[in-house]
Structure formats: structure tokens, C-alpha cells
Amino acid sequence: MKCFEIAEKMKEVQISDFKSCPFQYVVILTPSEWVQKRDLFDMGIDLDVETSSIYNTRAEVNYDSLTGEFYIPDRNNLSGNGYRFAFALDEKGVIFIDDNDDALTLVTNVAMKRKLINPCLERFLYDFLELIIDKDQQLLEQYDHSLDKVENTILDGETDDILSKISGIRSDLRDLKTHYTQLLDLCQELEENENDFFKEENERYFHLVCQRIETLYDIDTSLVDFSIQIRDFYQTQMDVKQNNTIALLTIISTIFMPLTLIAGWYGMNFRYMPELNWPWAYPAVFLVSVVIVIACVLIFKKKKWL
């Protein structure tokens, strides 16, 4: 169990009596420690935590507490396993229930990197949520650059693995979009302050986080739309390439149709075909064939089919 005092500079402390603690606190417990010590916090909840089954970020209002779960995708591998932990809070503090030290890592980062201007539970939660999305602006910019590269690759005529690249980017963006939607719902639950755990003047912190997440959500949505447009553009380019190939084959077939007719006509070998005994028959047919090919090519170029 780890305990931190919410102060201007958060520090780890030892707390013996959580019910009458003179300051607001942050506690990190394992699921087994929570089962053993949950009565110390006097929250009046019977919360069973199985972190391996956490796949969503959500919050639920109870009579004497606010409980919920965090699922935070790994920004380096959005399709892999993310941070999973549960939480419970009231006006005295917040408890994170985690068996992988994921919550401890985030809380420690807040304690080390942030100096709370207005030390309170609301301000800690603000910094905690801000830390979760801290580098997402840059992450989304990287996805934007990746989509630009894919688009330029299509324009250059390269089509190898394009669909798999687009699909991978869209999958990551959809995962982030779902994450932002769930974070927004959680922040709105905090902002509503149904149990009056938070001071009214401090509710603005949750509003600020909501605005930041909404901005990221809008950027993510536009990138998803952009990826769909690139996929459609790729399909259009493939259709154009296929149509050009079909057109070329059609033109070649059209040029050789008269030659095929000539070959078939003179391949009949009837006895009384006068050209068969004419000395200039072969050169004449050859010349006619060349004239036909040249005439077809000129006509097609004039009509801009070639």
C-alpha cells in the first residue's frame, strides 16, 4: 500500500486513520489489500476488482462514493495491453486499486512533475487526467503525417501494402476515439458532482479537462475521416489504373481486328481466289496491314484514346 498527501508538492506518507485524516489523500492498493482494508475508508461500498477484466474507462455514482475503472491504451502500442485499474473516491481522497503498479506510475509522475498551485483533490484529479492525455496532441500529429505520407505514396503510383497501412492507422485512431469518449463521460460525471464531494469553485478543473479531451476527440475524428478519404482515393486510383489497362487492351484488340479479318479471309485458300497466284499479293496484303495499323493509331491519338 502506498499513501500520498495531496499538498503543494505531493509526498508519500503513513496514514493510520483514514476516517479522520486531516488532509486529502491518494492511496494505491492491490485488489487483495483492498479486500482487507476497505472498511478503513468508510465508503460504504462492496467493490470487487478484477483488473484483468477491465476494458473500459467509466465512473459510477454511489450513495457515499464514486467508483469506476480506468483502461488507458498504451500510446506506443494502441492495440496491445493498456493500463488497467479501478478507483473509488469521496471527499476525503481517492483510492486506486491496481495489481500492476500502473496507477502508482501515474501518481508518482504527478507527484514528481507537478506542483499543485491549489492543493486539493480536484486539482490532483485534474493533473492525473491531464497526464493521461499529456502527449496525445503530438501523437495525433504523427498520425496526420503518416496519412500524408500514405497519400503521397499513392500519388507516386506505389500501392504495395497501402490498404494494410491505412487499416492499421484507422484501427489505432478508432481505439483512441473510444478512449476519448469514455474519458469525456468520466470527466462529466466528476463535473456533475452529484454527491457534492468537490467544491463548486474547483469544478472548473474538470471542465478544463473536458475541453482538452473534446479537442483531441475532434482532431481524432477528422483524422479518421481523412483515412477514409485516402482509402477511397486509393480505390479510385486502382480503378483508374484498371480502366487504363482495359482501355489499352481494347485499343490493341481494335487495331488487330482488321488484320485478323484479312488473315482469316486469305486463310480460306479457295481455288479460284485470284490473289493466290498474283506475285505482288503478299507485299500488297502486308502494305494494307501496315496502313490499317498506322491509320488506327493516328485516329486513336486524335481522339486522345492513346
Question: Tell me: the pLDDT tens digits for 58-99?
Answer: 998 888 888 899 999 998 888 888 889 999 998 888 999 998
Q: What is the pLDDT of residue 28?
A: 92
Q: What is the pTM of this model?
A: 0.79
CATH topology of domain 1-117: Beta Polymerase; domain 2 (3.30.460)
Which has the minimum average pLDDT: 4-13, 42-51, 231-240?
42-51
Provide the pLDDT confidence category of residue 137 given band limits of 50, 70 and 90.
very high
Q: Where are the alpha helices (DSSP H) in 95-203?
A: 102-113, 121-132, 136-155, 162-192
**Contact between 289 and 297 (Cβ < 8 Å):** no
From the list 188, 217, 216, 215, the residue with the least C-alpha distance to 203 is: 188
Give the strand pairing for 2-5 and 11-12: antiparallel
Question: For all residues of the chain together, what is the average pLDDT?
Answer: 86
pLDDT digits (tens, 9 = 90+) for 251-297: 888 888 888 877 777 777 676 677 767 777 778 777 888 888 888 88
Percentage of the chain with pLDDT > 90?
Answer: 29
* Nine-digit cell string for 187: 470527466
Q: What is the pLDDT of residue 283?
A: 82
Q: What is the pLDDT of residue 18?
A: 79
Domain boundaries in the chain? 1-117, 239-302
From the list 79, 112, 99, the residue with the least C-alpha distance to 30 is: 99
* CATH classification number, 239-302, choose in 3.30.1330.10, 3.30.450.20, 1.20.58.340, 2.60.40.10: 1.20.58.340
pLDDT digits (tens, 9 = 90+) for 88-121: 998 888 999 998 888 999 988 888 876 777 788 9
